[in-house]
């Protein structure tokens, strides 16, 4: 590198020299899960504050500092970055696996470019240009404020050292300067970590650690100098007129609960479901949960049918009645239950309670005008692949084996009733009732319809990733040890059918860029293995 061309005196500190970095890598691939309810409409990089998007402000500041070689790692809504190439001459790098891994793998896509470089997250706003006055030393930027989620603290030697759990550290900003020597170390470290599945969900800063501290010193800034925007409320506080704050979900909440959007506070993301996203919020002291449909859900769920299900189960103690449900948008609001936990599929006591609840529900013999046809849904999900082949080489044979089970099943369906269909452990919620005792209810009734109630047992098994012995045990719990042999075989057949159903569902989501990894593969294996078990029991 020609240091003469890239150095000049620092006006504020004449004894130091400003050293221009070679390039910058901006990490902008992430989905921004904490930005509910606006994380499905815009990438955080394009949030506007005072009329300027976050990423364009970063680019302007880099240009002002003489940095023209700028690489942006994209993923979520990658198409929205295209105009930056022509407007600013930046280079775009696509991380196709952004949904499956954390940003360590995003930086891996650009690791070969690290050589006297800045690494910058796209969701920050620097009030003043942090790149104007710099030396050629490496550093990692932290704030002087405390953050309970940070695992580093600046010591007296200006080192960034790891701290024990439950100890608040310096807020990590995410901007880093690496000189050529440290760039090589980090590049090699990224390669090592990305080859280890243990780091699939790791932040890129994992590559900076050597034992108990980072290999680069701290650059400490005032907490007000750089703002990281992680939540809707942070953006609202920073610029209440930002166009990204416009949200149908927020409008729906305000209308349903007769409040202003400013009354909606303490917004936080809940665990992302396989079909939907949900977030927690508070209005006038009461906590609520709002459901927002996920990618491609409009192709999978008939919200009019879902509304009919909620009408059928209303007031029967099966679930909390929705405060608000909109069949057109799929938005649903329910009151938050305190002390909620999901059923534990490895806990015998939980299993006994879940099967009793399931049997109690089936005994109500509720009806709705629609049926959930397993075999039709298998074909429907496959049709959503738009002619693309399955990722499994043996798919055609496995599907044929599953379809052969249809006559056996149909001969042994003695009655149908409203069936949950998605009766998996995560949808059995234990919570503290008004009497202080633990209560149990079922949630997420989107797929529910008329069907053989024994399908619910199969669904619980395959989501729990049970082996055959565990499946048999669950069947025995439901039937209290008196399950007829042909009914057990029928449930094996349902396990195969439902395995193929959800495998096809996962393949559709795969085409949308949403991955379910081990779950998807497990469902296909259920289809393949249990079609064989059922056929052997049936004698075909």
Tokens describing residue 179: 């000189």
Look at phi and psi of residue 315 and say left if phi exceeds 0, alpha if psi is from -120 to 50, else beta: left
> Where does the pLDDT of residue 2 fall: very low under 50, low under 70, confident under 90, or very high at 90 and above?
very low
Q: Is residue 507, in this structure, part of any structural domain at all?
A: yes
Q: Is the pLDDT of residue 443 over 80?
A: yes
Q: Same domain for 348 and 457?
A: yes
Q: Same domain for 323 and 356?
A: no
> Where does the pLDDT of residue 237 fall: very low under 50, low under 70, confident under 90, or very high at 90 and above?
confident
Q: Same domain for 376 and 462?
A: yes
The overall pTM is greater than 0.85: no
Q: Is residue 416, in this structure, part of any structural domain at all?
A: yes
Q: Same domain for 262 and 396?
A: no
Domain end: 316, 336, 356, which one? 336
Range of the domain at 290: 247-336
Q: Same domain for 419 and 286?
A: no
Average pLDDT of the segment spanning 275-289: 88
Tokens describing residue 502: 């959800």
| Rounded Cα gap, residues 251 and 336, in angstroms | 19
Cβ burial of 315 (10 Å; 0-12, 13-18, 19+) is: exposed
| Contact present, 73 and 112 (Cβ < 8 Å) | no
Q: Is residue 239, in this structure, part of any structural domain at all?
A: no
Q: Is residue 236, in this structure, part of any structural domain at all?
A: no
Q: Same domain for 416 and 274?
A: no
| Contact present, 330 and 301 (Cβ < 8 Å) | yes
Per-position DSSP letters for 7-64, written without gaps between them: EEE-SS-TTSEEE--SEEEEEE----GGGTTSTTT--GGG-EETTEEHHHHHHHHHHH
Q: Give the whole-number percent of the chain exceeding pLDDT 90.
A: 66
> Where does the pLDDT of residue 228 fall: very low under 50, low under 70, confident under 90, or very high at 90 and above?
confident
Q: Is residue 402, in this structure, part of any structural domain at all?
A: yes
Q: What is the CATH number of the domain that holds 283?
A: 3.30.200.20
Q: Same domain for 175 and 324?
A: no
> Where does the pLDDT of residue 273 fall: very low under 50, low under 70, confident under 90, or very high at 90 and above?
low
Partner residues linked to 440 by β-bridges: 430
Q: Is residue 2, in this structure, part of any structural domain at all?
A: no
Partner residues linked to 72 by β-bridges: 26, 92
Residue spans of beta strands (DSSP E) within 404-517? 417-419, 428-432, 438-442, 449-451
Q: Is the pLDDT of residue 170 over 90?
A: yes
Q: Same domain for 290 and 374?
A: no
Res 510: pLDDT:
83
Res 244: pLDDT:
81
SS3 268: strand
| Rounded Cα gap, residues 1 and 320, in angstroms | 65
Q: How many CB atoms lie within 10 A of CB 207?
A: 27
Tokens describing residue 476: 């025995």
324's enclosing H/E stretch is strand 324-325
Q: How many CB atoms lie within 10 A of CB 528?
A: 21
Q: What is the CATH number of the domain that holds 169?
A: 3.90.550.10
End-to-end Cα distance, the chain: 73
Q: Same domain for 14 and 142?
A: yes
The residues near 413 (Cβ < 8 Å, ≥ 6 apart) are 452
Rounded mean pLDDT of the chain?
A: 89
Q: Same domain for 51 and 179?
A: yes
Q: Is residue 319, in this structure, part of any structural domain at all?
A: yes
Query: Where is average pLDDT lowest: 107-116, 320-329, 528-537?
Result: 320-329
Mark out the alpha helices in 364-404 (DSSP H runs).
Answer: 374-383, 395-403
The pLDDT tens digits of the residues spanning 471-484 come to 999 999 999 999 99
Count of domains forming the chain: 3
Query: Where is average pLDDT lowest: 18-27, 169-178, 180-189, 373-382?
Result: 18-27
Q: Same domain for 260 and 395?
A: no
Q: Same domain for 267 and 312?
A: yes
Q: What is the CATH number of the domain that holds 486?
A: 3.90.1200.10
| Rounded Cα gap, residues 362 and 365, in angstroms | 6
């Amino acid at each position: 590198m020609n240091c003469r061309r890239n150095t000049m005196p620092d006006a504020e500190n004449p004894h130091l020299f400003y050293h221009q970095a070679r390039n910058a890598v901006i990490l902008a691939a992430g989905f921004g899960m904490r930005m509910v309810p606006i994380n499905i409409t815009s990438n955080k990089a394009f949030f506007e504050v005072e009329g300027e998007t976050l990423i364009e402000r970063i680019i302007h500041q880099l240009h002002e500092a003489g940095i023209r070689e700028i690489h942006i790692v994209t993923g979520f809504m990658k198409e929205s970055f295209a105009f930056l190439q022509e407007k600013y001459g930046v280079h775009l790098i696509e991380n196709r696996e952004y949904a499956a891994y954390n940003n360590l793998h995003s930086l891996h896509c650009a690791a070969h470019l690290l050589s006297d470089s800045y690494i910058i997250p796209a969701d920050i706003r620097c009030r003043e240009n942090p790149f104007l006055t710099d030396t050629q030393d490496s550093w990692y930027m932290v704030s002087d404020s405390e953050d309970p989620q940070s695992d580093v603290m600046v010591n007296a030697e200006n080192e960034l050292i790891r701290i024990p759990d439950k100890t608040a550290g310096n807020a990590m900003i995410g901007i880093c300067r690496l000189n050529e020597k440290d760039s090589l170390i980090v590049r090699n470290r990224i390669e090592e970590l990305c080859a280890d599945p243990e780091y699939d969900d790791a932040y890129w800063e994992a590559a900076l650690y050597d034992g108990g501290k980072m290999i680069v010193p701290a650059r400490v800034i005032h907490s007000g100098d750089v703002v990281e925007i992680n939540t809707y409320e942070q953006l609202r506080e920073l610029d209440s007129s930002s166009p990204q704050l416009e949200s149908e979900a927020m409008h729906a909440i305000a209308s349903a609960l007769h409040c202003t959007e400013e009354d909606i506070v303490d917004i936080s993301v809940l665990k992302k479901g396989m079909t939907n996203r949900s977030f927690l919020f508070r209005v006038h002291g009461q906590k609520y949960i709002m459901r927002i449909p996920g990618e491609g859900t409009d192709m999978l769920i008939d919200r009019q049918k879902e509304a009919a299900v909620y009408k059928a189960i209303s007031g029967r103690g099966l679930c909390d009645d929705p405060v608000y449900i909109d069949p057109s948008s799929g938005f649903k609001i329910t009151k938050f239950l305190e002390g909620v936990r999901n059923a534990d599929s490895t806990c015998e006591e939980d299993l006994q309670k879940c099967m009793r609840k399931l049997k109690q529900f089936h005994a109500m013999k509720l009806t709705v005008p629609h049926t959930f046809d397993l075999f039709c849904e298998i074909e429907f999900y496959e049709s959503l692949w738009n002619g693309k082949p399955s990722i499994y080489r043996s798919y055609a044979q496995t599907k044929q084996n599953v379809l052969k089970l249809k006559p056996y099943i149909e001969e042994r369906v003695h009655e149908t009733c409203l069936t949950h269909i998605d009766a998996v452990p995560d949808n059995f919620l234990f919570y503290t009732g008004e009497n202080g005792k633990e209560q149990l209810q079922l949630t997420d009734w989107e797929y529910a319809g008329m069907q053989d109630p024994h399908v619910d047992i199969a669904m619980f098994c395959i989501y729990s990733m049970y082996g055959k012995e565990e499946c048999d045990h669950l069947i025995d719990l439901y039937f209290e040890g008196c399950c007829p042999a042909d009914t057990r075989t029928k449930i094996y057949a349902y396990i195969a059918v439902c395995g193929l159903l959800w495998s096809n569902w996962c393949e559709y989501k795969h085409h949308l860029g949403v991955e379910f990894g081990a779950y998807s593969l497990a469902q296909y294996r259920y289809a393949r293995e249990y079609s064989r078990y059922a056929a052997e029991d049936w004698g075909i």
